[in-house]
Amino acid sequence: MCLCLLGIALALLVQPSTDFARGVPGLKEHAKRHPLHAGVARRAGAAQEDNSAEDRRDLEEVVAEADRVLEDNGTVKETKAVLRKAQKIYPEEMPVKRRIPKAEDPAVFTTDVFIPLDETIRKLDVLLQDERVVFVRAGVASGKSTLAQHLCITQPSKYFGVHAPLAKDATIFEMWERKMRAAVWGQNSNVKDKDLQDMIRLIYDNDQVLVFDECHLLFACPEFHEQFLKKPSCLKRRPMVLLLSAASEGTDQQGRTYLTPAAVTAKYMWTPPIPHANELVDQLAEADVYLSQDAVAFFMDFCAGHRSLFIRSMEWVQQKQSGDSTRWDLTRAQGEVSQAWDTDNWTETPDDSLMGKLQTVRAIRVNGAFSDPQSIPQQFVDILCEGPTAGMDANLRRKLTLVGFTLPVVPATDRIPEEFTPLDWAKLGTKYGVANYMMASYYRQALAKKRQLTVDVDRSPTSCTDLLLRALPYLLFADVVAIQGDKFGIRSDVSQEELPFEVHYTHAAVRELKRLVGNTNSLESTTKGKVDIYTTLEDGSTFAIEAVMSSRGATSIAKHRDRFESASMTNYAHAQYKCLLIIGKCGDMREIVGKVRDGIEVVGLAPNPSHTGYYVYVKRQGEKVVDFHIPCDGVARGFSWKDEEPFFEISSAQKFKYIEPGSAAPQRPPAVWVCQLGSPDGKNFEAIGNPFQVKGVLANVDDLKKAIDPSLSAFQASKIDIYRRKDGGWFKEDEESAVDRGESKADCYGFTIPAGAAGAA
């Protein structure tokens, strides 16, 4: 529709002024209802008063190009190009301006700085045709709503956004049906008198797609979603449905939980790709943000590839530039950021600072029930300190995911991750971790300041590789580049690999190792050796690590390797543990590491595209190299060699130590009331005997099982089932659930014990 209206609008531009008078108001009225066409209407209005012969010739060329775009079913990018060309005819009357979209507002591609989605949509089209029903999960503020809106605006005859009813109505079939009918009505006016099955058939026949943003709300009405998530008997295949949410489960107002429907099997985690900087330079200039192409790329890396964080950083640049149209090059961009960045002071920065702007995005600082650091639950603190876990209480996991704290962890591979990665998050053992690593950085600092959070880190590494893995999880791009280049002899902004230089990485590693392990510095002796990273442990063990960029070539790498065997360079030669660290991109890193001469440790380091993790290559023997991925999640790791495949082990070297209790600290009762349950009719439970108290340290339901009857063996105790009373019935509890009730007889837990065991009542 947008392309058709574009052709109509441009055709109007070459008609006499009387035609303008008739056509433009209608087009403008349409634009009020449909944001995509606002740009077309503005350009038509600009031409309304001036229709010279010269302008007519120019416009005829634009119309010819518009016809070509229409015939080829052109992309959004091509459509915008035609609009831009038409606008250039009337620059004074209608200058192009864009805005930086507000935090949490979906971006509109005609009026806002808009990160392209053409390739994402192409991939989604393929998935929908193949799978029919596709569930895409991503973190909060990652662009899901922008994607949903963009699909429905740019292809309104194909994609229909079905908005959820109010929470109190989320379980009501008729309310959902009404919402679907409203979504489909605009393009299929004949649905007014059709029942739901006929409407679904119409969508199927027209190859159209239903879009449910925040789809976990849909799951609360199985009677409705089963009509199309399962294959209707009257159709050969299911209609196409796109589901989008951060969460995989929903709840109703009575507290009942609804999981992802079993019919939804095509489940993907979405990692929006980092766009090409050249696609954004002109758009940003239209919003009074003036950056060179490499400066745009720098900011995208700086924000860990996160689109919402990037947009907020552009708001900061706009504010800093204050209308000055002088473009920042990479040197200026890096210098400004270096002055503005300090991860030790997240909570102390002004609202208009770079770090203050980033905090307005829920991807860093959540809102709602957990907005106060005092209310953050211990299980999130444990993940923050010790890494992803599969052992979270299901109810709390859902809450943490909905507010934006956690997401399922996609298993790391040695390949660059796909934009849409298949993941069955219902699979037993699926781990959940911090949703993004800038959030981890923020909450580590916030909780350290507000609640004295501390961790224990193993301060006794057994190799240089083991030592490096203490620091790598803390080396986000933002922390690597946050140094003043001219202070360290850097004569250009990036290395030949378009990465920071080795001094950026080693300076950041030294800073973190000082904090995590202890005595670490860079040695600067011109006679004894300038060692990039030099650590001395309490027992006197010394570690010397020399860094070099892979782009310097084999000869330079060999020279750096030889420094460890120079008798005069004692800082290298006398170190107990020696390592050559080669930094570059994945490409040939395995081969480069394998060819370095033996005798010392050799480690290759390749940041992933968004700089949120590192592919690590470690030379084993000869040219054999092992590799693995370390995320920048702020959890120190350890490395050790093993005799069996895969010949190495990665472990956590960091544990939670202490945090002051907050308002979310579990208030476990000193004693819990329980009563034994029986089922006379084999269907419904009822209490048998009187309630009694169980005392002890009851961290979870599994502890409660063991405390009910200590005479039972561990095996017999595991057969006990625990229930909680809810809505007049008894509902089974998971073993990992917290013990958070039972302070009174009326609120007691129920239990059944295995047949043949001694009675507890």
Average pLDDT per block of 10 residues along the chain, 761 residues long: 43 37 37 38 44 52 53 51 54 63 86 93 97 96 94 93 91 93 72 79 95 96 96 94 95 86 96 90 94 93 91 96 90 88 88 93 89 92 93 86 92 74 92 93 95 95 98 92 53 55 92 95 91 96 96 94 93 96 90 94 91 92 88 95 91 92 63 88 83 82 84 78 78 75 81 65 40
Residue 290 identity (one-letter amino acid): Y
Q: Is 619 helix (H, G, I), strand (E, B) or coil?
A: strand
Q: What are phi and psi of 287, to 5 degrees?
A: -105, 20
Contacts of 189 (CB under 8 A, 6+ apart): none
CA distance 627 to 616: 5
- The torsion region of residue 147 among left (phi > 0), alpha (psi -120 to 50) and beta comes to alpha
Helix (H, G, I), strand (E, B) or coil at 181: helix
Q: What is the pLDDT of residue 485?
A: 46
Q: What is the pTM of this model?
A: 0.74
Q: How far is CA 721 from the centre of its chain?
A: 37
pLDDT of 757: 54
3-state secondary structure of 228: helix
The H-assigned helical ranges of 92-157 are: 118-131, 144-154
pLDDT at 55 (0 to 100): 53
**DSSP characters for 311-367?**
HHHHHHHHHHHTT--PPB-HHHHHHHHHHH--GGGGGGS-TTSHHHHHTTSTTTS--
Q: Rg of the chain over CA atoms, in angstroms?
A: 31
SS3 state of residue 38: helix
Residues 86-125: pLDDT tens digits? 555 544 444 468 899 987 789 988 889 999 999 999 999 9
Q: 171 vs 195, 223, 246, CA distance in Å?
A: 19, 9, 20
What are the strands, taking DSSP E only, across 679-743? Answer: 686-687, 692-695, 721-726, 729-732
Burial of 729 (0-12, 13-18, 19+ CB in 10 A): exposed
Residue 398 makes CB contacts below 8 A (sequence gap 6+) with 247, 249, 251, 257
Residue 126, pLDDT score:
97
Both tokens assigned to 4: 């058709």
Cα separation, 574 vs 542, in Å, equals 8
Report residue 294: phi and psi, to 5°.
-70, -25
Q: How far apart are CA 296 and CA 274, in angstroms?
A: 11
> In the structure encoding, which two tokens stand for residue 69, read together?
């775009």
Question: Directed axis angle between helix 173-185 and helix 196-205, to 10°?
Answer: 40
Residue that the structure tokens 């349409």 belong to? 30
Q: Which amino acid makes up residue 215?
A: C
Distance CA 752, CA 71 (A): 70
Q: Which amino acid is at 305?
A: G
